[in-house]
Structure 1
Amino acid sequence: MEPQLLHEVTDSVATVVIDHPAKRNAMTAAMWAALPPLLGSLARDPAVRALVLTGAGGTFCAGADISTLRGSPEEAQRLAVAAEEALATFPKPTLAAIRGHCVGGGAQLAAACDLRFAAQGTLFGVTPAKLGIVYPASSTRRLVALVGPAAAKYLLFSGELIDTDRALRTGLVDEVLEEGELDKRVAEFTRVLATRSQLTQAAAKEFADGRTDRDAHWSRQARAATDTAEGVTAFLERRAPRFTWTPSD
């Protein structure tokens, strides 16, 4: 089967699956190039309220397909960074569901998600030092923001793999589940995300990601939206809120 990105939308949650089992879901140049337009399409879909990124079979992503680096490593890195940025700027909550190996480009994609849930026994690694590659500045800054300078240097300098316990301690992952519980927990959590205010989520995502020029924008959005009134009314009436603000508003 050709390497590809699969996707489906169920119960307001989009799931994107990295599918290249012959090489442990390594990303080819074509797969890197296909990710931004796919994410753009899902971002515009009003039925999508959250997104899960995962890998087919028993692994998340073993990195970039090394064979693609022989021709033009600069072009391969450009494609990878563009895909990472498209994922990082996806306007709705994103969650990486990780098992097996999350290495190199796989770790790059996982770090670009808002949250990361992993199965016990997953191995993580940021491995450019094994290939003599200068890790992109934007990817390095994202990793430092996620795990701190010391842990980022450990990962980048050594290229060593770390287990889920260490990944959890450093903040590289948010939750670690037993293998049989990962999919269930991800489904439960994304159902929760899909019921929450997209206004709150979108503003929080930009603020948490360091945007300092959007305070006035989100103040205007909050005044124009009905989400706050609906949230308070639903709380007082002891019912589930029906939030209506969408990113297109």
Structure 2
Amino acid sequence: MAKDSSGRLHVTVKSKGKRKLSSKLWLERQLNDPYVAQARRDGFRSRAAYKLTEIDDKFHLLKSGMTVVDLGAAPGGWSQVAAKRVGAPARGKVVAIDLLEMGEIPGVDFAQLDFLADDAPERLIVMLGGRADLVMSDMAANTTGHRKTDQLRIVGLVEAAALFATEVLKPGGAFLAKVFQSGADADLLAQLKRDFASVKHVKPAASRQDSSERYVLATGFRGEPRTLPEA
């Protein structure tokens, strides 16, 4: 171990056996990431909890009694923060889905579900039992290595999440979604600006500096929500 430029000890992982370079670099990054260590100490399931915490501390999205939808929730960092800040389940409500399994979190109603499945929106609406104050998405598409293809997949996920948000949000509600370096697609950005009073891109300090991820935040929903199907 050696100290980095900030004086912290830096762990170097030795390559053994058939460990790939990408795996070695990922493991080193995890071991040397202060947010990963802090998440363990604070009982959060992932460092992503600090991204939502920072965004909420600045923009005050989460309030006691709110109903929140968490798309792409696993392993649960965002859901943990949301449940605590809205007072779920006693006062608020958090509904979460992911393709992957996610262990139970107090106050969070979770379903293992593909958001892009045809029946996913209706199933989510039934879980909600009404309208939402905030729809947030930390979903990320599986990458192929082909830049244009990956960008189209990312945009498609954000567009689907935004459409769902306009179907379930209460007037004045908010939408938060991961969009990566290029930000929201121009057409999507234009639509969000029509549906919301304020639209901006944010990059919390907890996002790794070498990461291309950023988030689009739309607040003050002013569109006309569609009639929800009966539960």
TM-score (norm 2): 0.33
With the length of structure 1 as denominator, give the TM-score of the two structures.
0.31
More strand by share: 2
